[in-house]
Amino acid sequence: MIKFIWPIDLILLKEVDSTNKYARKYVYKKKNWIIISSINQTKGIGMGKNQWYTEKGKNLTFSIIFKPIKILPVKKRYIINIITSNAIHKTLLNYNNNNLIWIKWPNDIIYDNKKIGGILIENNIFLQNVHSIIVGIGLNINQTKFNKKWNVSSLKKIFNINFKLDKLFFEIIYSFQKEYFLFITYGENFIRNYYINHLYLKDKNSLFYVYKTKSYTKGIIRSITDQGFLIIEIKKKLYFFFQKEIKLILS
């Protein structure tokens, strides 16, 4: 059994529509590090109006509820996404370190150009600071059948082995706590640099759809700003984009 940095309070559900929705009732509880996990999530929430589809008992779908120990201003809320992405990425590297696992801005985990996981973060704000956070995580683990239109995969399809869900679940939670500990100990740049170095398609020519102009453009992902904006070089000029302002088009 993994020894966590901070004690957790685990709530295991047989079935729920969304662990993030269920977690909202615990946001104002005094306890910290409450984990909501479900064997079957029927209507997982993705970014915007997207949904996360998962097969019963074969994947990981859970939410982490915690209150920042260190004051986190609203403008720095992107850091939680950095922490979560890094934690998942580092955990998966323990299973296969072949440079095919990437972090796709802003909230996806990619293996060999296919999505294997997603992150959804909900922040509760008080006096311009983040008071409490719900971090929703969905990872395709042992599921093997997917709609071809989704361009997704799973760890089992990739490595051709069955994964122990409980073991991986606790490893990710520990990795999340460790990454948060690194943040409060060494600061924002320490964890941000890791994220930037593992950005999907960084420094490569890519195709994007810009929602404001309703047009496609070619560009190169260069980095992210200290507020989480994606920096893209277009025609030798740098442009900053926030979530839902631009979409990376995969071939």
pTM score, whole prediction: 0.94
Digit-coded pLDDT (tens) for 187-207: 999 999 999 999 999 999 999
**Average pLDDT value over all residues in the chain:** 92
pLDDT recorded at residue 47: 43
Q: Tell me the C-alpha distance between 126 and 29, whole Å.
A: 15
Q: What is the pLDDT of residue 149?
A: 81
pLDDT of residue 68: 95
Rounded CA-CA distance 225/188 in Å is 12
Burial (CB count <10 Å: 0-12, 13-18, 19+), residue 16: buried
pLDDT at 43: 67
* Neighbour count for residue 11 (Cβ, 10 Å): 18
What's the CATH code, domain 9-197? 3.30.930.10
pLDDT average, residue stretch 72-98: 94
What would the mean pLDDT of 100-126 be, rounded to a whole number? Answer: 94
Is the confidence at residue 11, as pLDDT, over 80?
yes
Give 205-249's CATH code, choosing from 1.10.3470, 3.10.150, 2.30.30, 1.10.3120. 2.30.30
| pLDDT tens, residue by residue, 43-69 | 655 444 455 567 889 999 999 999 999
> In this predicted structure, which of 79-83, 138-142, 150-154, 224-228 has the lowest mean pLDDT?
150-154
Q: Half-sphere exposure of residue 190, counting CA atoms within 13 Å on the CB side?
A: 10
Counting runs of H as helices and runs of E as strands, what totals does the chain give? 5, 14
**For range 198-224, the mean pLDDT:** 97
Domain ranges of the chain: 9-197, 205-249
d(CA 199, CA 156): 23
**Over 50: is that where the pLDDT of 111 sits?**
yes
Provide mean pLDDT across the span 85-106.
92
What's the average model confidence in pLDDT over 101-113? 94
**Which residue's entry shows tokens 């729920």?**
16
**DSSP annotation of 83:** H
